[in-house]
Every structure is written in C-alpha cells, then in structure tokens.
Chains A and B, each alone.
Chain A
C-alpha cells in the first residue's frame, strides 16, 4: 500500500518538477514569478489532447507527436507572452510585472474557457499505461531530462549566455550578449518542458480542462521555492519533495487516525510553502540574494 503512495508521490512530484523548471528558469533570469506559467501548461495539455484526439496516429507515434505538439505550443505561447506582455513592463518594476503576469494568467484561462468550454474533456491514454504506468513514465522522463538540461545550461553557448544574463543583465548586454533573445530562449526552454509536463498531466489524470494548469502551476511554484527558486537542480528536488510530501504525509496522518487527511493535501502543501518561506526563504539549494544599498 505504501508503494502505491510512493509511486503517486514520485509521479506527481515529477510533474511538479517539469512545471517548476520553467518557473525557476524565468525567475533566475529576470526575477519574475511567471504567474501565467500554469496556463502555458494548460495550453500544452490541450495541444497534446488535440493531437491524440484528432490525428489518425495511435500508440507510441501518437504519444511522441502529442509530446512534441504540447511542448511546441507551450514554447511558442511563452515566447509570445514574453514579447507582447512582459518585455514592455520589464523596466516598470517588479510589482507591475507581477500584475501583468496575473492578468495574462486570467486572460489565458478565460480564453480557454470560452474556446474549449467549461466541461472537462476525457483525454485518451495513447500508450494504454493507465494512471500508474503514466506516473512511472513521467518519473522516468524526468530522470532522462535532467542530464539534457544540465548540458543545455552548462555546455552550450546559449546556456552560458543565460547564466551571464542571470548574473547581471546589464553587464551581459555590455559584453555583447543579445539579452532580449537570451531571455526569450529561456522562456521557450522552460515552457517546452512545462508543455511536456502538461501533456503528461492530462495523460495521467485522463482529462483536460481550462483551469487544469492553475493549481498544479501554483504547486509547482511552491516546489520551485522549496528547492530554491532560480536553481535548476532545486526545481527537480523541490518537485519531488513536494510530490512525496503530498502523497505520504496524508497517508501517515490517515494511518494515525485522521480519516479525511487526503482532502487537506492542498492545504498541507501551502502551509509547507509558508513554512519554507519563513524558515528558509532561499529554499534547499538556492543562493541568498544580497540586498544592495
């Protein structure tokens, strides 16, 4: 029985990690909580759903094309959001940027509500793995993704440029790094990963709906904070920690005699967020940010 919960925790945690990566990369580079990230996930999930539902493909090819479509749709959307909404307010201060992000989130969610309707749509399970199999799969995908990401950020020119912009955007620009393009690339990369997470989210739970990204998005943010926002390994660790915590803590609480523990798992996650923020705002793997006068 504990195995089931462990698997649940790892699968859910891997999905959180997929989404958290985008949060942490964007935060790392422009210090913005991309509030619309959950909606980017939702759009990716819908793109995957339309491929699975509408294309003649079946089985593994259908799954691969859905993953690709989900990632691409999310990536393109994130670049558009960055170009049209975030870039104009980048110099207007963090609160203006954050409010813009809240607005974009609401915009996308309601746009999806109007375009796709309020009723959740059943999403086909292309590989026929069932919820359990998909959880195992998404965890496996995360394990495979980690070295790729590491190479992208540490081993490529773009990755080096990203780290430079994250360190000091103005200095990076003076060194001839096209900061705008690097920031757009960061949004794209984070959103592609998140879109894949969105397709897996839809596959695991078997439904797509307009607000599918909101709560997982917020939870993934919690995961990013737990791991230390701005840190890529932190997002992976934080996602898994949060997933396991959400699955195992209610399990133990229920064993201890509290029958309704599972209805409270969201509250547990947010209480944990507040706890982490209070005790260690930089998270498990984050660097403290210096306050300059």
Chain B
C-alpha cells in the first residue's frame, strides 16, 4: 500500500542525504532539549527521567501505528499516533510528577531516573507481543514508503516536518514562559518558599511545567519512532538522558535559541565523528587529520563527558546562560562601543 503524498524521486546525493538526516536528528534533540529546558531550566527542577518519557512517546506512537495500520489513511494515522505518544508521555509525566514534585531537587532527580528505569524494564520484560521486548518493535512507514528511489523524498519531507515541529515547540515554550503561569514558574524556580508566600500555587506550577515538558519528550519520541522505523530498548538508556542534558546545559538553562544551537553543534560533531576515517565525506563534513579523527571517534564518549564536567566547572549556566541568540548578538555589537565610551 503506497501512502506517499507525492513522489518526486529527488536525488539528494550523499551530501544532501547526510545533511537532511543530520537535520532530523538535530530537530528531535532540539525538541527534547526544549522540553527538558522547561523542567530543568525555567522550572528549576532536576529531572533525569526524560529518556523514559521519550521512550513512552516512541513506543506508544509505534503501537498505535501498528494497531491502526490498514484501517486508517497514512497521514491521519501518523498524526493520531503522534498525538497518542505525546499524550501518553504527558500522562506518564503527570503520574510521576504528582507524587514526586514535592521532593527537592536531588531527590526528584533520582525518583525520575528510577521512573525511567522502570519504563525501560517494562518495555524489555513485557511479553514480546506488546512492545517487541529486546528484539525491538517495527514501525510501519505510513507517510511514505522508503525505497532507494524515494529515499531523497523521505529525508526532505522529514527535514521539513521536523523544522516545523521545532519552530512550534519553541513558540509554545516561549509563550508559556511569557504567560502569567510561566512567570509564576520562574518565581518558583528562584525561591519556592517566597513564591508560595506570594500566593503562587507551587505544586501546580511545577506539575504544569513537568507535564508540558513530558509531552514534548513524547512528541520527540513519536517523531523518532516514525523516522527510524524500528525501536530498540537500547535506544532509550541513560546515555540518551546525558545527551539531552548536555543539549540543555551547553545551550543554557533557560535559553530557547541556545538549546537549538547546542543540539545542532552536538549532533553535527557526533555525525562528523562517525564519518572519520572514511573516504568521500559529504560536503560540509569536516575531515579531521588522520592522527586525530579516528582517535576522537573512539574516545568521543569520554571527551563528551569531559565537556560536561568542564562546562559545569567553568560555565555552570551554559554557554548562553538564560540569554537568547539575538541578545547575545546585540551584546557583541555593543561591546566595542561601550569600551570606547568608558575610555
């Protein structure tokens, strides 16, 4: 059954295929980072369970797709499954958030990490018919068949889709933070006791941020499921959480553009490193010297962890802090003039 919207059979070539794939991964991590930023950045909480919510979104979207296959038209099924994944993750966030958000920072971190572990064990241990167990779960292609001819179309469609989703997510986060509820959340993040004394419903603010953030993780999971076409429990282990955390920390706790830039930088580095030592790199992928490239590819995870530690020591608020890209550019432009007037 071909459910393709249109078949252009665009030939992107290796360069185009590489860049579109990179863009999709950047988009998924940007959505994950933006949603975690709502919890860990703006909300001042510390969740280590985002990968569990990501998994819930992915597996629920995949299950819904499998269940509705054949009965529902492809694009509709895609939308319904994505909505189901998002809602399921939001419900998961509510289930863990309601009891645990009364806990202070570090307790919350461990409770959410425990929750994500439970999700992973659930996926792995439930009978194979439910989530595929350790053999993985296939996600049928409902937007477009992927054949050698339509690979370019598929990647282009996804790149466009992901850009739209990232833009919408960024918009939602921005509007939430600027709303009255969002300002209440920022106050809670600064000082819970003081915010509570001012009449802000502390628990409600935190639960709202947590559930919204969870929904974002679910949405990213649904995108991931449909793009990858196959889910494995190993895709949702703790290193994924660290990757998301690094996007948020590198970008700045409480910066939207920072998150997107950080996702771009981190995914680019990761994808480029995977190519090191090969011939014919796609255009725009930097080839490191032979002495460094393969070595860095081997030791990347060590270097990665080192970056996280050094970042926390030297710039604990991330590269951007809570500022946005336009603010930074303006500050950079103003800096020389300010120096001149001072002298």
Contact = CB atoms under 8 A, between A and B. Distances in A.
Given A114-B299, A267-B121, A281-B103, 9 more contacts: A33-B110, A98-B105, A99-B308, A103-B305, A103-B309, A106-B301, A107-B308, A263-B125, A277-B107
Contacts of A95: 40, 44, 46, 105
A80 interface: no
B203 to A, nearest CB: 13
Interface in A249-276: 260, 263-264, 266-267, 270-271, 273-274
Interface of chain B, main secondary structure: helix
B111 A273 contact: yes
Interface band, chain B: 35 or more
Given A99-B249, A218-B113, A225-B107, A89 B313 contact: yes
A107 to B, nearest CB: 4
A111 to B, nearest CB: 5
Interface residues of A, number: 43
22 contacts: A31-B106, A92-B316, A93-B316, A94-B106, A95-B40, A99-B249, A102-B48, A103-B306, A106-B239, A110-B305, A114-B299, A218-B113, A218-B117, A222-B114, A225-B107, A266-B117, A270-B118, A273-B111, A274-B114, A274-B115, A278-B99, A281-B102
Interface string B190-219: 000110010000000000000000000000
Contacts, number: 119
Contacts of B296: none
A103 B250 CA distance: 13
A33 B109 contact: yes
A266 B121 contact: yes
A274 B96 contact: yes
A158 interface: no
Contacts of A271: 114, 118
B97 to A, nearest CB: 12
A265 B113 CA distance: 16
B309 A107 contact: yes
Most buried by A among B96, B99, B118, B304: B118
B302 A111 contact: yes
A271 B96 CA distance: 11
B11 interface: no
A93 B44 CA distance: 11
Contact of A264 (B106, B125, B306): B125
